[in-house]
């Protein structure tokens, strides 16, 4: 197969107060290093994290920096030593396979993806779903089974419950584990969606941003148990203090995002009043090895295939990346957004 020498990609320059994000052409094709496959992308997933790089909350590894961290496409080249790989699901990857992957800049026509994070897509999986489910789906599964392994009947709280991770997390907690979910979100439409996905209770944050606290505390079952057993909080700064109020004795507080800003440093001695545990996990240390990645991804794909987990998808042509990034930043979106790469 003859490959072009250059391609186009959506790149960030000058992250911080006045960033530039633009679709640039004539960028050299990624070089294919050991342990990688080269993928011609068809779709790329949009994740809230791009905003952290654009605004400078997280430091971009380079300037310019190609955005995106999950994609779907067709393998166009494999690195030579792949034939000796111990894992047959890696060894068998070949040119022409339709795959999804994580951990490579994906807002581009071509990406070099690390084989440990490449999934050969099963036949019949709808186009775009591969790019849609890996990052948010694996986050939801690992949060619900590792960070705080919820149990059947637990009452747990999920903030931003109608977002990409949020909707999958509510579904997994309720439909797979059998936990009872309290959802929060910023609009009635989002609350309705969270309820359709399995939330038993759903509350707006409220005009001051804090009305949800009393709403949660006044649920009779929550009163009876002295609080909620687990909290999954991606909102960060705005909901952290409220979480400490509504959590039960020996509860687990999983803080996994900063959509409203980073949680302020706090004194560890604040945990003693209720003997609570607080975690600040991120996905990748949970899926460091191929075995870990496969374990969670197999379950995720099965649940999607069976229809237990449903993905609410919105597709943007990649020329409209600006609109997509603005939409997710402005809290106007629900479910997952993906870019169709031309
Ligand atoms: P979402 O689709 O959930 O979009 C972000 C949501 O955050 C918004 O829709 C909004 O929902 C909510 N939000 C609350 N406060 C604000 C605010 N001040 N400004 C903007 N949005 C706000 O995005 P993702 O599903 O991609 O990610 C969800 C969260 O999970 C993010 O914080 C992300 O960083 C985190 N994450 C963490 C991972 C990890 O490994 N730790 C992995 C993946 C995601 P509403 O209006 O209802 O409040």
**Pair 43, 60: CB distance under 8 Å:** no
DSSP-assigned letter for residue 30: P
Cα 256 to ligand 1 centre (Å): 9
- Among 140, 192, 331, 338, say which to mutate for ligand 1: greatest number of ligand atoms within 8 Å of CB: 331
pLDDT at position 84, please? 87
The domain ranges of the chain are 6-135+290-340, 152-280
- Among 53, 209, 234, 332, say which to mutate for ligand 1: greatest number of ligand atoms within 8 Å of CB: 234
pLDDT at position 254, please? 98
Atom 25 in ligand 1: residue holding the nearest Cα: 164
ipTM: 0.99
Among 147, 154, 44, which residue's Cα sits nearest to residue 101? 44
**Pair 342, 41: CB distance under 8 Å:** no
pLDDT at position 326, please? 95
Pocket of ligand 1 (CB under 6 A): 47-49, 135-136, 139, 160, 162-166, 185-186, 190, 234-235, 238, 256-260, 281-283, 328, 331, 333
Atom 18 in ligand 1: residue holding the nearest Cα: 260
Atom 36 in ligand 1: residue holding the nearest Cα: 257
- Among 46, 51, 134, 165, say which to mutate for ligand 1: greatest number of ligand atoms within 8 Å of CB: 165
**Pair 100, 70: CB distance under 8 Å:** yes
**Pair 284, 259: CB distance under 8 Å:** no
Report the CATH number of the 6-135+290-340 domain: 3.90.180.10
> If you classify domain 152-280 with CATH, what class do you get?
alpha beta
Atom 13 in ligand 1: residue holding the nearest Cα: 259
Q: How many CB atoms lie within 10 A of CB 87?
A: 14
Atom 38 in ligand 1: residue holding the nearest Cα: 282
pLDDT at position 83, please? 84
Atom 4 in ligand 1: residue holding the nearest Cα: 163
**Pair 304, 285: CB distance under 8 Å:** no
Extract the runs of DSSP E, i.e. beta strands, from 205-317.
228-233, 247-255, 277-279, 313-317
- Please check whether the two domains, 6-135+290-340 and 152-280, share a CATH topology: no
Cα 10 to ligand 1 centre (Å): 21
Q: How many CB atoms lie within 10 A of CB 329?
A: 15
**Pair 164, 335: CB distance under 8 Å:** yes
Query: Would you put residue 218 in left (φ > 0), alpha (ψ -120 to 50) or beta?
Result: alpha
pLDDT at position 290, please? 95
DSSP-assigned letter for residue 128: T
Atom of ligand 1 nearest to the CA of 261: 18
Those residues whose C-beta lies under 8 Å from the C-beta of residue 143, and which sit 6 or more positions away, are 165, 169, 232, 254, 256, 281
Per-residue confidence in pLDDT tens, the chain, 342 aa: 789 999 999 999 999 999 999 999 999 999 999 999 999 999 999 999 999 999 999 999 999 999 999 999 999 999 988 888 889 999 999 999 999 999 999 999 999 999 999 999 999 899 999 999 999 999 999 999 999 999 999 999 999 999 999 999 999 999 999 999 999 999 999 999 999 999 999 999 999 999 999 999 999 999 999 999 999 999 999 999 999 999 999 999 999 999 999 999 999 999 999 999 999 999 999 999 999 999 999 999 999 999 999 999 999 999 999 999 999 999 999 999 999 999
């Amino acid at each position: 197969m003859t490959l072009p020498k250059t391609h186009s990609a959506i790149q960030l320059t000058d992250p911080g107060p006045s960033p530039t994000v633009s679709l640039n052409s004539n960028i050299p094709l990624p070089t294919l290093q050991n342990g990688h496959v080269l993928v011609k992308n068809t779709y790329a997933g949009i994740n809230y994290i791009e905003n952290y790089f654009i605004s400078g909350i997280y430091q971009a590894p380079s300037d310019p920096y190609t955005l995106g961290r999950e994609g779907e496409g067709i393998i166009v080249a494999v690195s030579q030593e792949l034939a000796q790989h111990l894992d047959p699901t890696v060894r068998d990857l070949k040119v022409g396979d339709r795959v999804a992957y994580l951990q490579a800049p994906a807002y581009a026509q071509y990406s070099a993806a690390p084989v440990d994070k490449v999934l050969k897509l099963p036949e019949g999986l709808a186009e775009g779903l591969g790019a849609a489910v890996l990052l948010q789906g694996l986050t939801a599964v690992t949060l619900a089974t590792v960070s705080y392994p919820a149990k059947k009947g637990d009452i747990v709280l999920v903030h931003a419950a109608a977002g990409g991770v949020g909707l999958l997390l509510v579904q997994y907690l309720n439909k797979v584990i059998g936990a009872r979910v309290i959802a929060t979100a910023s609009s009635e439409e989002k609350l309705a969606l969270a309820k359709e996905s399995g939330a038993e209770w759903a509350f707006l944050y409220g005009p001051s941003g804090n009305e949800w606290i009393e709403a949660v505390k006044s649920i009779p079952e929550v009163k009876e148990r002295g609080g909620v057993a687990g909290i999954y909080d991606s909102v960060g700064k705005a909901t952290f203090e409220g979480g400490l109020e509504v959590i039960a004795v020996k509860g687990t507080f999983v803080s996994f995002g900063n959509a409203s800003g980073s949680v302020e440093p706090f004194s560890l001695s604040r945990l003693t009043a209720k003997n609570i545990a607080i975690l600040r996990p991120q996905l990748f240390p949970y899926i460091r090895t191929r075995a870990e990645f496969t374990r969670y991804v197999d379950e995720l794909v099965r649940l999607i295939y069976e229809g237990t987990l449903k993905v609410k998808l919105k597709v943007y042509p990649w020329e409209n990346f600006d609109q997509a990034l603005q939409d997710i930043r402005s809290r106007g979106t629900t479910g997952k957004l993906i870019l169709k790469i031309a």
